[in-house]
Amino acid sequence: MTAADAHRAILAVWRTEQQRLVAILARMLRNVPLAEELAQEALVLALERWPKDGVPESPRAWLITAAKRRAIDHIRRSQMLARKHETLARELESEQGAMPDLDAALDDDIGDDILRLIFTACHPLLSKEARAAFTLRMVGGLTTEEIARAFLSSEAAIAQRIVRAKRTLSDSGLAYETPRGEELKERLSAVLEVIYLIFNEGYAATTGEDWMRPQLCEEALRLGRILAALAPNEPEAHGLLSLMELHASRAPARTDEAGEPILLLDQNRARWDRLLIRRGLAALARAEELGGAGGFYALQAAILACHARAPAAAETDWKQIATLYTELASLTRSPVVELNRAIAVGMAEGAQAGLLIVDQLADEPLLKAYHLLPSVRGDLLQKLGRHAEARTEFERAAALAGNARERAFLLRRANSPSD
């Protein structure tokens, strides 16, 4: 194996195992920023060793062992809490010695560990923006660029938020825990937002070569299910779960065999996962029973439910979807939601009605670099037979898109404006 092959293998393992590694170390050390730092040290060691020694038989076990050893070394070196740390170090050494199946041990209660990590990173001491950015970086494994795109912000601003969050958590001595009762309710909205953003990045990757990142979707779904069980009477926990289940149900139909995107109206609905649809509809019903029908996530789930209940694209209740988007737009005052409303109105009332809404968003600062604005405009122009204008919009959207698959798809649409 060449050094380049080893580096690719390391980065692939790191992308899938980083959040688990940080969660386990955070549980050991009760210090989230330190856990991330030691996880990074384990990555550096792998980059040094694996090109020489070869990729180990169990890469994830190797990484956690290397990180644990660094955690023990750190504990031994500590002077402020020497006695406590020495005791913990002995416990960790004992635990390590009695771990014949490291892979199995790494999965012990891992979902709860990661959720605990998110709750810690979403402490009210941090600003709302810092919580989300820091957690997406640490738990979701997203790059600063990906997070910036998710928030329609600059990389520099996101980087500053992450640095400030790390500093605050390091200086505060916060407990690494899943809160209960009223404290859980106080942090719930921030945790829901982070899980939602992790899912979104998996469902429609902002950068990279692949249209979707299934592992992020699966992780967000797992966390959403744990959270709904942890807060069974919180309607928005069920609303978010419904939203993710219904989105995930479409995953098998969203790409062709080559991995190229397939638009919603062109998807083979026979490939939609009926079990996930049933679970999504059940979670939505639970949110509505709890009085949360007008919540941010429940409204979005209700929109997806309209699609899920339609046997064919032509039978979709676009008027109902447009009405739901109007409610959602009133709730959020979000230009992105308004853009989605334009799509629904365009389907319900005609492309010209949708285009009027889109054109009102032309000067919206948050959408200046948002590739879906020209993409939606191009689609509406195409339906109106204004093909030259549509081509220009699709080309502009492609130039703004960060995902390679999406960029290629938009360029194909630009070159076939009459399709």
The predicted pLDDT at position 400 comes to 94
- In angstroms, rounded to a whole number, what is the distance separating the alpha carbons of residues 33 and 135? 11
Taking the model in full, what pTM does it have? 0.72
3-state secondary structure of 175: coil
CATH number of 317-419: 1.25.40.10, 2.60.40.420, 1.10.10.350, 1.10.630.10?
A: 1.25.40.10
DSSP assignment, residue 56? -
Any idea which residue has 């230009």 for tokens? 335
Q: Which residues contact 109 (CB under 8 A, 6 or more apart)?
A: none
Identify the segments of the chain with pLDDT beneath 70: 1, 77-112, 139-140, 173-178, 417-419
DSSP assignment, residue 385? T
Domain ranges of the chain: 1-108, 317-419
- In angstroms, rounded to a whole number, what is the distance separating the alpha carbons of residues 377 and 391? 10
How far CA 370 is from CA of 135, 149, 174, 374, in Å, comes to: 23, 8, 37, 8
